[in-house]
Amino acid sequence: MSIKVKNVTKIYGEQKALDDVSFSVEPGHIVGFLGPNGAGKSTMMKIITCFIPQSSGSVSVCGYDVIENPIDVKRQVGYLPEHNPLYLDMYVKEYLDFVGGVYKIDNRKGRIKEMIDMVGLGIEQNKKIGALSKGYRQRVGLAQAMIHDPKVLILDEPTTGLDPNQLEEIRGLIKNIGKEKTIMLSTHIMQEVEAICDKTIIVNHGKIVADDKTKDLQNQQKNLIVLTVEFDKEVDLKQIQNIDGVVQVKKFPR
Ligand code: ADP
Ligand code: MG
């Protein structure tokens, strides 16, 4: 298993950001982590990449535990954080050289060239990062995440804020990279997982509410029926919510 998350809870002060979350990601898949803002997506990704510890439960990446073997985990994982923090005053190659140095990569020049080709930085490669468009900055972010040739990529909202053209290009790039690596990406857009993910995990209020192949989820959506029912007296909405198969109950005023 590439990623194994077991009964993970994360509490910030008084707030439960993740509540008994369990899932696994198999090698070679592109998995979408779908949920609204505040659902707990970034928190989960920060735990998987050893940026913050969970409050309880366990997480392993390629068999390495994030608490016991963080260095081994970081070797296996590439991470593109939300909002892609980059040094805007650095040149693209200078920045990639810096990141390559952190990972102690041999033959850095050759590896940087490979990365520039892989993510399609092309004629932008000699510019300062601050001079690049958002789409090209995401390419730099992907290059830094992959420079140490990790097996698993964690991408936190990699397409948020891109215009439609850039969006298509970055999605295509991620799909291509996914042929070689295991990818987990977060998004709040259903169409995004439909476009690129084999599997979708839906998270809401810190809990997993669905974990299935994207195709099966799409079929389930098609099977949803909206039913309007009128009662001649006041009913307890909770009782209706508890009926098997009911997903959501809404009350309309008369
Ligand atoms: P998402 O990425 O799905 O938008 P986050 O993981 O960023 O969600 O946040 C989940 C919840 O945890 C939110 O309610 C957020 O306010 C809270 N949260 C996130 N980081 C912190 C933090 N460092 N301290 C306190 N609360 C936090
Ligand atoms: Mg987030």
For residue range 167-213, list pLDDT tens digits in order. Answer: 999 999 999 999 999 999 999 998 899 999 999 999 999 999 989 89
Mean pLDDT of the chain: 93
Tell me the CA–centroid distance for residue 82 and ligand 1, in Å: 12
The 3-state secondary structure of the chain reads: CCEEEEEEEEEECCEEEEEEEEEEECCCCEEEEECCCCCCHHHHHHHHCCCCCCCEEEEEECCEECCCCHHHHHHHEEEECCCCCCCCCCEHHHHHHHHHHHCCCCCHHHHHHHHHHHHCCHHHHHCEHHHCCHHHHHHHHHHHHHCCCCCEEEEECCCCCCCHHHHHHHHHHHHHHCCCCEEEEEECCHHHHHHHCCEEEEEECCEEEEEEEHHHHHHHHHCCCCCCCCCCCCCCHHHHHCCCCCCCCCCCCC
Please check the confidence at residue 223 and state whether its pLDDT lies above 80: no
Closest atom of ligand 1 to 35 CA is 3
Q: pLDDT: is 45 or 221 the higher one? A: 45
Please check the confidence at residue 243 and state whether its pLDDT lies above 90: no
Return the minimum-mean-pLDDT range out of 64-68, 174-178, 246-250: 246-250
Q: Is CATH 3.40.50.300 what the domain over 3-223 is classified as, yes or no?
A: yes
Position 219 scores a pLDDT of 80
Mean pLDDT confidence for 142-164: 95
Cβ–ligand 1 contact at 37 (below 6 Å): yes
Cβ–ligand 1 contact at 43 (below 6 Å): yes
Confidence bin at 109 (pLDDT 50/70/90): very high
- Give the residue extent of every domain in the chain: 3-223
Mean pLDDT confidence for 234-246: 85
Cβ–ligand 1 contact at 39 (below 6 Å): yes
